Structure 1
Amino acid sequence: MKIEITNLKKVIKGATVLDDINYTFTGGRIYGLCGKNGCGKTMLMRLMAGLIYPSFGTIRIKDKILGKDISFPESVGMLIENPSFLNDYTGKQNLEMLAGLQKNVDKAEVRRVLEQVGLDPDDKKKFYKYSLGMRQRLGIAAAIMGSPELILLDEPINAIDADGVQEIRAIIRGLSAENRIIIVACHDKSEMDYLADEKIYMSEGRIIKETENDR
């Protein structure tokens, strides 16, 4: 899989929030978007997910232009900003509802991803009673359910306890072995040093530096 971003620019209400973004992402790697809050990390992920479209430039996914040839990436999972689920549904019920929109996801897959992120598929607790950490785990489960080719994770370890951080790291590293493109946004440099194969530093809507981690 390959994603090519060319001369990307996003203008909102006259303000340029992303400017002259050029980058090529290839499968089997984890990319870390690094930078302070407001630098453009989340906006770039929203564009790649097809939630919004560029003002200028192109995002080409497997030779199809996003917003022209396809409305959304054909295989994408995402955790962008705060995960949103139905309050009166259990975690399992929420994922089963989402699975109904995906042809390749059955109940066995829902159970598998819940267990993978450390949640009990048989827990009867409703989402509104979930802790912040449990909500984050459910959001990660939703993002990886069905083994999408592109996975976008915005601050995936937010609100996760120390033991859970190790589990989430292992999950993300394991997913990268299957030719997926995984993009993780995180303001914690040490976390990116550990997790990412390539780090992309952003500031004021622009890519200012790229580095590759030794593995």
Structure 2
Amino acid sequence: MSYIELKNVSKVVKDSKILDSISLSLEKGKIYGFLGSNGSGKTMLFRTISGLIRPTSGEVSINDKVIGKEIDFPESCGITIENTGFWNDQTGFDNLKNIASIKNIVDDRAIMESMQRIGLNPQDKRKFRKYSLGMKQKLALVQAFMESQDLIILDEPTNSLDEESAIRVRNILREERSRGATILIASHISEDIDRLADKKFKVDLGRVYEI
């Protein structure tokens, strides 16, 4: 049974077709890798699946509910796409605590454990603006993982990370899959896709091809 279903999804922006008649059927509890160069359509595809933009034509359904009709966004989704809206004048922990307060399903201890899991110190008093690129990437990943979402959508998850941190992230993704999460990864790094994905796709000129 399909968990994520795309039916003839296209997206046109200023007379340019960014997504071109994409149909996909993805099962629950697997890691799906989407490999493609910058500008191939990976990010737009993920923004469409996550409900952040609406397709020009076609439809996306998550767990048999159509986005834009029955639901606005996937009901249980952790996501990192482009710039995550963190507050520059707050610590990493305080940023995550504010985000967690929206759903109020994880407490301070769970947030701290999620930070430690990825290699961030929850006691670090530096403000987000003082974070390195790698630390900012880790914080974005924590907010996607910390609430044990059913669907996790990650755009370039190991970007800006050193090899040790990248290995840690890959291990976390395997653990999330083991508990039943469905994980979508977009990357231009074939190593990430090859090591993690149960099924691989190539994105090129707005089309998706199974590898």
For the criterion TM > 0.5, the same-fold answer is: yes
Distance in 2 between residues matched to 1:101 and 1:92, nearest whole Å: 15
Q: Paired residue for 1:56?
A: 57
Distance 1:109 1:11 in 2: 41
- 1:22 is the counterpart of 2:23: yes
Task: Measure, in 2, the Cα distance between the counterparts of 1:79 and 1:107.
Answer: 21
How many angstroms apart in 1 are the aligned matches of 2:110 and 2:48?
A: 28
8 Å Cα contact 1:83-1:136 kept in structure 2: no
Q: Which blocks of at least 5 consecutive residues in structure 2 are unaligned? A: none
Percent identical pairs in the alignment equals: 43
Measured against aligned partners, the alpha-carbon deviations of 1:23-56 in whole angstroms (never above 9, x if no partner) come to: 1111111101111110110001001111111111
| 1:65-214 matched pairs, under 5 angstroms | 65-207=66-208, 209-211=209-211
State the alpha-carbon separation in 2 of the partners of residues 45 and 196 from structure 1: 16
Deviation, 1:152, is 0.6
Q: C-alpha separation between the residues in 2 aligned to 1:150 and 1:186?
A: 17
Q: CA deviation at 1:106?
A: 1.7
Q: CA offset at residue 72 of structure 1?
A: 0.7
Q: Which region of structure 1 is more displaced relative to structure 2, 52-61 or 101-110?
A: 101-110
TM-score (norm 1): 0.95
Q: Is the 8 A contact 1:79 1:153 kept in 2?
A: yes
**1:107 offset after TM fit, Å?**
1.4
Q: CA RMSD for the aligned pairs?
A: 1.1
Instruction: Tell me how far apart the structure 1 counterparts of residues 26 and 107 of structure 2 sit (CA, whole Å).
Output: 29
Secondary structure at the counterpart of residue 82 of structure 2? coil
Q: Helix, strand or coil: the match of 1:93? A: helix
- Specify the alignment match of 2:46 in structure 1: 45
How far apart, in 2, do the equivalents of 1:129 and 1:65 lie?
40
Give the letter aligned to residue 4 of structure 1: E
SS in 2 for 1:101: helix
Q: SS where residue 52 of structure 1 aligns?
A: coil
Q: Runs of 4+ in structure 1 displaced over 4 angstroms?
A: none
Q: Distance in 2 between matches of 1:64 and 1:48?
A: 12
What amino acid is the match of 1:31? Y
1:103, distance to aligned residue in structure 2 (A): 3.0
- In structure 1, how many angstroms separate the alpha carbons of the residues matched to 2:102 and 2:41? 30
SS of the equivalent of 1:2 reads strand
Preserved CA contact (<8 Å) 1:7 1:58? yes
**What secondary structure does 2:102 align onto?**
coil
The code of the aligned residue for 1:62 comes to N
The one-letter code of the counterpart of 1:81 is E
